[in-house]
Amino acid sequence: MIEIFYKNDGQMMVSQSETDFAIIPKENVIWIDLFTPTGEEKRAVESYLGTTIQNRAQAEEIEISSRFSETEHAIFANTSFLIPGPDEYNEETVSFILAGDILTTLRECPLKSFTDLQRRLMAFPKMYDSGHVAFLSILEQRIDLDADMVELVSKDINQYNRKVSVGEDISEEFLIDINLLQENTMLIRENIIDKQRVISSILKSPKYPKEYHSRLNVLLKDISSLINHTDFGFERLEYLQNTVLGIINLDQNKIMKVFTLVSLMLMPPTLIASFFGMNVRFGWLGESSWSWLIVFALMSVSTIGIFWIFKKRKMF
């Protein structure tokens, strides 16, 4: 699908047909949004802009030369947008092409930042006089969403921390949840750093208008703040994970301590019972019917003695 946003007599118009390029002057076009485009739509945009559009494989390369590049006629920037899911986040690579004052975007899934920009373009056309402003608006909206995700992660960390503090049941699933939260935090951080690299490269480009550098510098400051927050969150998760592991080890040690104590307490009675259970005659016991009481008394005394020794040494 293709959507062409252009101005006509001060009003923002939108077209969803590549054939309209023949009647739309380039100086009127603000934004061309390619959402899972067909081959014909991509070729029409390339012909209209006079430049090529990267394919998805090129856009997903992690090298800085693939994330940002420029030619004589255009600037190419690729960055990842996170899509929150019920348990984990997914990454979607978005390509930005700035050819003159026209912004062209290429994406494969719906994104809130783009939907919000479309509404603003139609509602406040005077605010968007070029594709550079539309590009900045997408980045600003996206970084705000990243900040919301960092805040949600921080709330989850606080929730897990409270569970540990009140002594709730800590199981293997609890540890897996913390590990998943760590993965999401790292993914958010990598995604934010990726935008930092792209914006820094754009600031160095002589093709990007200097009048917008101040807004880009503000975005870099916001990104630096978010990186610090994610680093702090990751440190808290590591501390929480170590605390949980320590609690699990203490619980296991308590169980092993009980088993050890019981085993030691039963060892002397077992030895006495085995000794007197031998198929031999003990003359000193005689044939008295009270012989079993003597054996039982010896077993009880030995058990109580072991218990008293452990109690006195505070071993349980």
For the residues of 125-159, what is the DSSP string, one character each?
A: GGG-SSHHHHHHHHHHHHHHHHHHHHHHHHHHHHH
Examine the pLDDT at 310 and tell me if it is beyond 50. yes
3-state helix, strand, coil in the chain (%, to 5): 65, 15, 20
Dihedral angle sign, alpha carbons of residues 305, 306, 307, 309: positive
What average pLDDT does this structure show over 133-153?
Answer: 89
Domains in the chain: boundaries? 2-248, 255-312
Q: How high is the pLDDT of residue 158?
A: 84
**CA–CA–CA angle 144, 92, 210 (5° rounding):** 55
Burial (Cβ within 10 Å: 0-12, 13-18, ≥19) of residue 105: buried
Query: Which position has the higher pLDDT, 47 or 249?
Result: 47
Question: What is the identity of the amino acid at 7?
Answer: K
Beta bridge pairs of residue 6: 13, 29
pTM of the model: 0.73
The number of angstroms, rounded, from the C-alpha of 89 to the middle of its chain's C-alpha atoms is: 6
Which of the residue ranges 70-74, 201-205, 233-237, 267-271 would you say has the lowest mean pLDDT?
A: 267-271
Examine the pLDDT at 263 and tell me if it is beyond 80. no
Residue 236 and residue 157 in contact, taking contact as beta carbons nearer than 8 Å: yes
Examine the pLDDT at 195 and tell me if it is beyond 70. yes
For the chain, what is the mean pLDDT? 80
Examine the pLDDT at 60 and tell me if it is beyond 60. no
> Tens digit of pLDDT for each residue in 203-252?
888 888 888 899 999 999 999 999 998 888 878 888 877 777 777 777 77
Burial (Cβ within 10 Å: 0-12, 13-18, ≥19) of residue 207: middle
Superfamily grouping for domain 2-248: CorA soluble domain-like (3.30.460.20)
Query: Which position has the higher pLDDT, 34 or 52?
Result: 34
> Of the spans 78-87, 100-109, 251-260, which averages the highest pLDDT?
100-109
- Sequence-distant (6+) residues with CB within 8 A of 200 are 220
Q: How high is the pLDDT of residue 183?
A: 84
Examine the pLDDT at 57 and tell me if it is beyond 70. no
**93: part of which helix (H) or strand (E)?**
strand 89-99
Percent of residues, the chain, with pLDDT higher than 90: 6
